[in-house]
Structure 1
């Protein structure tokens, strides 16, 4: 996904791919979608994100993670923004999403845009643009975000089981991404989003306590780094909000994540999994040695991911409730 990120690409949970409908990419999006109907849409959202960042440095990681979690369930349709009701528990209240935050940023952007161009800009588009701004304002690349998404009306907490988790191995990660039309290169590039954020102890306890019958600590962890994690996250009586930054520069979008991964200093099992296959490790090495190559790949994969068709049908007046 610093952010309360019990993984920028989700927190635990098993595969629920059997029977999962394959989501396809849409060609209906356009970079100039709002040029005539709401020409100041991007400047308005950027201003809101920038203001939020001044008060809370965890906002960028939160927005990036929120966008990922939106697109990986039902496509990019803003369903992660919907509130639960008496009859339905929504995605944001599913276990992997409990630690999502900064929804107020999307609310503030929506309010500002409703004043400028009512009933025009979808919440899904606001989230996609805010995620881009989160990266750019943290020192990362800028890119033209295709726009024209519609907001969905369905949001179910049970669907969060489909999110890839921090304990996933490489096969599970590849299968999860493939279900969304994303390949191995997308997996490695988008994992670089872990350059921003913070992880709670619960998401990596499996690596530092009782790793196996013969080893208490994951042997792929660098020893002094593992010791520091165990110190922060003891086996018993772990402080509620204890955890670790996802890399050593958790509020700066850079390629440090890949460098640390190669040193045995990654946080999640799913991070370390990228070094278990020759082709994925080659990409990790490439991005570790070149920030430019990482940014190029990240932008390409972000555009691809954020174009997954969510099948939404409306432009919500309030991002938290259907019209």
Structure 2
């Protein structure tokens, strides 16, 4: 089963996405590509970040070094914990499950994300203190382009089209774990998605809030010439707001979607055949082996 990953914050500074990618590789990549994706995450992560902020030479050297250190820490400290989490999921996959069990796994993943964000605060702060007004303007333009894509992919679609897009996403993620679903299972999944409370407009508004929050935070850090300790407090505050929106309506919406996702995952799992559950267990074990090997000291 694939726990929901909506807790992943869409940080303007983009570092959280890199961390989230490291954390959720097992849920997003085919088993045979996990090792390649993880071993190259620091390098690919740098280029992804550079696409948002055009780094100068000094920033490039520092960021590459920080990402490399982060990955070393993550490999030795967090990957063994992910293996333990996978073992829990593997045990659950052999029998029927309830939504509360799925949500417990999702909440544990969220706690790991909080640990990761705390680990990167010093490096994120150091980088933020070196950003120039021109780089922040470039970041703002990058956001505008990404927002235009979101509007095209989601807001310009009719509700039925949005539902169909989300169904295809859910189907792909589900079949990544269980293998091919039959017609009745696909119909059930489509019906669950059709009844979803997903609101593309509300998600978009929260996306804009996070972006403006990030830009305002970075401007305060760069314009005020703050001491490092004060700058880190601002970065920490942003991370907290990215994980827990200050908008109570969005928090309620996010919680409702989480509960909805947990019910959908449980229902999909409970209607899986014995063969599909066996496929899920085998794939989870393969993920577990890959992550355990990645956690070993590298030559």
TM-score (norm 1): 0.32
Greater share of helix: 2
Asked which structure has the greater CA Rg, the reply is: 2
